[in-house]
A and B are shown apart, each in its own frame.
Chain A
Amino acid sequence: MARVVLQGVTKTFQNQKVVKGLDLVIPDGSFTVLVGPSGCGKSTTLRMIAGLETVSDGNILIGDQAVNALPPGKRDVAMVFQNYALYPTMNVFDNIAYGLRNRGISKKDCKLLVEEIAEIVGLSDYLKRKPSQLSGGQRQRVALARAMVKKPKVFLMDEPLSNLDAKLRNQMRVELTSLHKQLGTTFIYVTHDQVEAMTMGDQIVVMSEGQIMQVAAPMDLYQEPENLFVAQFIGSPAMNIVSAEGRSDQLWGFRPEKALLLPASVSPVPADDRWVAKGQVVSREILGSDTLFHVETEKGRVIVKADTEEARLLGGAVTVTVAKPHMYVFDRASKKRVGRLGGREQAATLAGGVS
């Protein structure tokens, strides 16, 4: 078990900086998720921690040891790959035991360890099979078992669930979370899926274009985004951004689920504590209990999430209203969050990050 520290970590590929001086502390025993759109450098960062990519500049520490010069096998980390990367010619037993044998563990101890792990992940009946004879979910378990059996200080996972179908993915999400609780080891998990990030991580690192946008716990990230990028990346659908009223240097944003839809015939009580916009519903997406309304308003196009039952009777013409404390204020130039409307200034709940 160990914490992982990144100090000014930079990666350059052919004169192009893909990771730009990351400073990050991943606490011991945390489930840290690196999330961001594809090409943001999250996988490269993970691979640098694993030792599969060299670090162009900066330092990586695992525990108190600088590992920049250590080969992957000596870093005491285990990795689960997106495509599992199982050894196709070996059966499940050998796949799991391979790393142990390389460490000089005796055949007898190997057998015990592998059988124990296989029991935990439910693979005991499949030890003699080749990976090609297993389903996607089973392969995923072999990959997990192969990582777990080494009892590493840090688990690295590179989009491990993206090749599974939706149902299995949900199931594995829960299993991974409980596995993390059980093992208490540091997990570093890379994904582009913000749902995975929000549901599994206890610390989320949002990345964009090789830089960290924000490091925070899931709810802090959702409620107190530090900048426009995080505000629009976290949450589904994304935060609505509209022009600020009376301030050309600002942008305002509100979450689709915090807005209210009223029929146009009902004129809202004019009040200073609400943002109001009249508009036309352009399309609606019914998700089940909720419906997404795409509304073309006088102040720009917005999405509003409303209860399907309640919104059933709405016609084409509507009024969108948002309570001012739910309106976020961003600086147009720096894209940083300034505060909220209605007096609530930005709360100082910024977790993580090295200063």
Chain B
Amino acid sequence: MRKAATAHELPGTGQVQAKAAGMPVAWLELATRLRPYLYLAPAMICFLLFFFYPIGSIIYLSFLDWSLINLEEMEWVGLQNYRDLLADQDFRQVLGNTAVFTVATVGIGLTLSFLLALWLNKKAKVYGIIQATVFSPHIISLVSVSMLWMWLMDPQFGLLNAALEAVGLPGYTWLADPKSSLLSLIIVSIWKGVGYNTLIFIAGLQSIPGDIYEAAALDQSPWWRTLVRITIPMLSPTIFFLLIINTISSFQVFDTIAIMTQGGPINSTNMLVYYIYEQGMDFYNGGLAASASVILLILVGILTALHFLFMSRRVHYR
């Protein structure tokens, strides 16, 4: 009973609890110090297991020559995989495709979304309906979207060519021609992403206080200057956020390629992630797939770092 009484007198201190539990003080101090790590452990274990371990593992695997068919034989080849990749004409084309696709999707997609947001940021039912319509592709699975656009873009029976011909224009080759295939994928990707981006832009626009615009009106600010000097700077956190997530997701485009073109025709729509999949799953070339993955990781890392470096200085956070 005496022990309990002591504990009652000084509640909450580790030492007293130690005495109460009959444990040496040193033990309890250790337990107190370990406690935060214990709480963090579940999250950290998941992180290590599913994040850091795969990264480390893929980096290690990229230095080996190995096949997915025969996992017994793995040979250390150092940087040979990387040398092979960079010397490969196809891989260079893949990098080029990825770059064009990313720049076009992010550039055109965000500009379009921004203009749509400016147009739709009004209080009327019509605009709400248009907003919902524009957003709807975002909730459709990419597989369905890809199938849908394959039908639309069919050179003979597709709706797009039917529409073109109806107004007297020649049909377009869309996915069938290496010259137009990448553009077709870009169109699909923009169509799919524009709704989400518009929604985020509208949210950003609505968080700008209205009296600033009233002050600008009293300052005789012409609309374009209001846009450049007030709206865009006020929207910079939103723009920055969308730029990063859109760049990363464009870089990792896969589903549309896998369903619509399988990288063709003649490698014209092959991009990094699909290339990695091809090397690994079609050609069982584990070493090349691993090293291409590492290159993807590095490129996305560099891009994000660059964004942060150049943009964060110009971003206005409230």
A residues within 8 Å of B by Cβ?
Answer: 50-52, 71-74, 77-79, 81, 83, 85-90, 98-99, 102-103, 132, 146, 150
Contact = CB atoms under 8 A, between A and B. Distances in A.
Contacts, number: 69
A90 B229 contact: yes
B213 to A, nearest CB: 9
B234 A88 contact: yes
Given A85-B212, A89-B230, A89-B316, A52 B225 contact: no
B215 interface: yes
Interface in B216-234: 216-222, 225, 229-230, 233-234
Nearest to A83: B211
Interface of B: 209, 211-212, 214-222, 225, 229-230, 233-234, 236, 316, 318
Given A85-B211, A98-B219, A102-B220, 15 more contacts: A72-B218, A73-B220, A73-B221, A77-B218, A79-B214, A81-B211, A81-B215, A89-B234, A89-B236, A89-B316, A98-B221, A99-B219, A99-B221, A102-B222, A146-B215
Contacts of A78: 218
19 contacts: A50-B214, A52-B214, A52-B218, A72-B218, A73-B218, A73-B220, A79-B218, A85-B215, A87-B216, A88-B212, A89-B236, A90-B233, A98-B229, A99-B218, A99-B219, A102-B220, A102-B221, A146-B215, A150-B219
Contact of B219 (A52, A73, A88, A132): A73
A151 B229 CA distance: 23
Contacts of B219: 73, 98-99, 102, 146, 150
Contacts of A87: 212, 215-216, 229-230
A103 B225 CA distance: 12
Nearest to A143: B215
A102 B209 CA distance: 21
Given A81-B214, A85-B215, A88-B234, A74 B220 contact: yes
B217 A71 contact: yes
A51 B225 CA distance: 20
